[in-house]
Structure 1
Amino acid sequence: MKLPGRDAIARQPDEQLVRSRVRLPRKVVHRPIQQVGKRLAMALLTLVVTALIVWADRDGYHDSSGHKVNLLSSFYYATVTLSTTGYGDITPVSDSARLTNIFVITPLRVLFLIILVGTTLEVLTERTREEWRQNRWRAALRDHTVVVGFGTKGRSAIQTVCATGLKKDQIVVVDPSSKVVDVAVAEGYAGVVGDGTRSDVLRRAEVHKARQIIVATQRDDTAVLVALTARQLNRAAKIVAAVREEENAPLLKQSGADAVITSASAAGRLLGLSVLSPAAGMVMEDLIQQGSGLDLVERPVTKAEAGRGVRETDDLVVSVVRGHRVLGYDDPSVGKLQLTDRLITIVRASPGTRVTPDIRPLPRD
């Protein structure tokens, strides 16, 4: 497999760097054009109310041109008054008109200005507010999960980890497509637009503070570069990657991935198993769908289980993780369970409950 060099990646357009930014989920708000339209309607309503107030007390106003104050003159007076222009050709002369200007029209003028100035200030402060939200998000983010690639594999991986109890605010999605990141943000995840092979993009996702990194890119060469870059930024995180071709799995492990899943081979094995035994295929599919039916769970050995055999535990144990080795339940070398062991068991997923596995990265040589 021929991998693109770092120089080729560095020659990407600067537009990619500009679009590489963090997007955080936020409450549903009106679109900018809707916000402006709403404020414009409020300003027009204030203008109409003011004009009607003046017209209702039109006998208390004097027009320097000698004409009576009609409805058009009332709207004219309201316009120049609310905008603080004040030409002085129409003036209140009666006590009631002057009191109305003091206690009614002046507050309406202030409200009118607040509406206009508020719209301008909101536009000017939007970017500052967004930067403040991002800084606060970065400061609070710890031990999160970074998912590079929000395609079918990335979505399925997120659904699985969320089924174990991981919160959405602990997941950061990285994808080069702005539209894809928008979809992820709409679903409640933080998103970073950019190429996951670039260290600056992964830093925006706070990958150096991440606990787990899932590489679910569309191309195997991209997955290798992502894993290599992520491992350089974070030596302790657990990196799990997916590849299409099985021959590329060793290269990914050399690049720093702790576990590599061959998507094409895994799907093919499940297809073959379903042909030989549809029931067995259904059971396997149930096992890999976390949160329903039967679940595969990795958990530590309890004090009560230490010193016992695998068959003496309450759960159905499939394998025992001891150090760097994964031993079958019937492996003679398992012997008695130790407190440092971890068990991979099959449990029944109870409705409404979630099991949060204690996931820890494997020791690296």
Structure 2
Amino acid sequence: MPSLPRFTSFLYTRAIWRRFALTRFVGALALTALSLVVGVGGFMWVEGYSLLEAFYMTMITVSTVGFGEIRPMSPAGRLFVSLYIFFNLLMLAYLLSVLTTYIFDGGLRTMFAMLRNDQEIRALRQHIIVCGFGRNGRKAYHELRANGAQVVIVEQSEELVKDATEGTGEAIMAVFGDATLDETLRAAGVERARALITALPKDADNVFVALTARELSPGITIVARASLKSSEPKLLRAGADSVVMPDEIGGSHMANLIMRPEVIRFLDMISGLGPNKLRLEELSSSELRPELRSLSIRELDVRSRTGATVIGLKHQGGDFTVSPPADLVPAPGDVLLFLGTDAQILTLLQLFRAG
């Protein structure tokens, strides 16, 4: 018996779920209902039975229990019964094949898995939605998961997700459907999500996703991918908070590898591409432990206590201060930026972040 693949921990939208998971069950039920209607109608028309008599003859014929006829049938009635029995044998074979598939080939378990995951995604709060599971969407997904975020994928191609996760044993929550549609984003929990990344191949689709997500969830943070420079203002007008152009970033990266190779290698360490990975982290003043909120950067003594370094401070007004002075006291609404290894950042969060 084939086992349920581990990568199939996906969440289907309701429309897709009904279409694929229940199609054969609905078809079998429809055939059963049709058989009963044809039987009752046929007996009433061919033999002149009353409704109750026709229903009785239909039920004993369908169930093949072998009870006798109400009265002897005409030749036309016997021909009708013969054809009717043959039709019901075909219907029974189809019904058995449906039940066998769902019981023995894992279809029933798949349905229960989808229902369970549907409940899981309904319970998500402050998660992140990634629309598109191509190169950029996949990279964003893995980076988010590495940082402990709960992520829901929105992708039309089930095969794309299957190929990307096959052999990894990774369980992914995904909604298979068109990300530009309201019902698809609602199935992914856009009203409860804190952020959305749209990395679809076409800029026009990303514009629609940003517009739809902004309408459904006005407070959500939206990051959009763009291929053309001319698409950037359109995405911003549609509701995106930030627009990223991977091709432009890639070209700049290659040029800097020639002109400033050591700077790029250091940036690779920060982005997790180098052998010695570094990590950037941020903490707002409100996230600090209450007893630390009135202390200056010198008094926080981050470097000696954790090994991490304070590399910047974002003021509430939006301005940045790089390498802030040691005597600076973060004001309410300010955000401190830190740089360190994973172990150093973990120590930092344990010592400085409020429980």
In structure 1, distance between residues paired with 2:171 and 2:345 = 21
Q: Where does the alignment leave 5 or more consecutive residues of structure 2 unmatched?
A: 1-11, 19-96, 303-307, 351-355
Tell me if 1:304 matches 2:297: no
Q: Structure 1 residues 285, 207: CA separation in 2 closer, same or farther (over 3 Å shift)? A: same
CA contact (8 A) 1:154 1:216 kept: yes
Give the residue type in structure 2 aligned to 1:179. E
Residue number among 213, 223, 226 corresponding to 1:243 in the alignment: 226
Q: What is the aligned residue count? A: 247
Alignment of 1:202-241 (within 5 A): 202-241=185-224
In structure 2, distance between residues paired with 1:22 and 1:351 = 45
Give the residue type in structure 2 aligned to 1:308. S
In structure 1, distance between residues paired with 2:329 and 2:349 = 26
Alignment of 1:179-194 (within 5 A): 179-183=159-163, 187-194=170-177
Q: Structure 1 residues 323, 224: CA separation in 2 closer, same or farther (over 3 Å shift)? A: farther
Identity %: 27
Q: RMSD across aligned C-alpha pairs, in angstroms?
A: 4.0
In structure 2, distance between residues paired with 1:271 and 1:306 = 44
Partner of 2:340: 347
Q: CA deviation at 1:152?
A: 0.9
Partner of 1:327: 320
Q: Which has the higher helix share?
A: 2
Tell me if 1:122 matches 2:103: yes
In structure 1, distance between residues paired with 2:252 and 2:222 = 24
In structure 2, distance between residues paired with 1:305 and 1:275 = 43
Q: CA deviation at 1:173?
A: 0.9
Partner of 2:91: none
CA contact (8 A) 2:312 2:337 kept: yes
Partner of 2:9: none
CA contact (8 A) 1:322 1:341 kept: yes
Q: Structure 1 residues 135, 351: CA separation in 2 closer, same or farther (over 3 Å shift)? A: same
CA contact (8 A) 2:145 2:151 kept: no
In structure 2, distance between residues paired with 1:351 and 1:309 = 17
Q: Structure 1 residues 324, 263: CA separation in 2 closer, same or farther (over 3 Å shift)? A: farther
In structure 2, distance between residues paired with 1:184 and 1:276 = 35
In structure 2, distance between residues paired with 1:227 and 1:137 = 25
* SS of residue matched to 1:325: coil
Q: Where does the alignment leave 5 or more consecutive residues of structure 1 unmatched?
A: 1-16, 24-115, 358-365
Q: TM-score if structure 2 supplies the norm length?
A: 0.58
Partner of 1:174: 154
Task: Render the CA deviation track for 1:37-85: whole Å, top value 9, x for unaligned.
Answer: xxxxxxxxxxxxxxxxxxxxxxxxxxxxxxxxxxxxxxxxxxxxxxxxx
Q: CA deviation at 1:156?
A: 0.9
Q: CA deviation at 1:194?
A: 1.7
Q: TM-score if structure 1 supplies the norm length?
A: 0.57
CA contact (8 A) 1:306 1:339 kept: no
CA contact (8 A) 2:226 2:244 kept: yes
Tell me if 1:294 matches 2:278: yes
* SS of residue matched to 2:218: coil
Partner of 1:156: 139
In structure 1, distance between residues paired with 2:298 and 2:140 = 30
* SS of residue matched to 1:227: helix
Q: Which of structures 1 and 2 has the bigger CA Rg?
A: 1
Q: CA deviation at 1:149?
A: 0.6
Q: Structure 1 residues 355, 212: CA separation in 2 closer, same or farther (over 3 Å shift)? A: farther
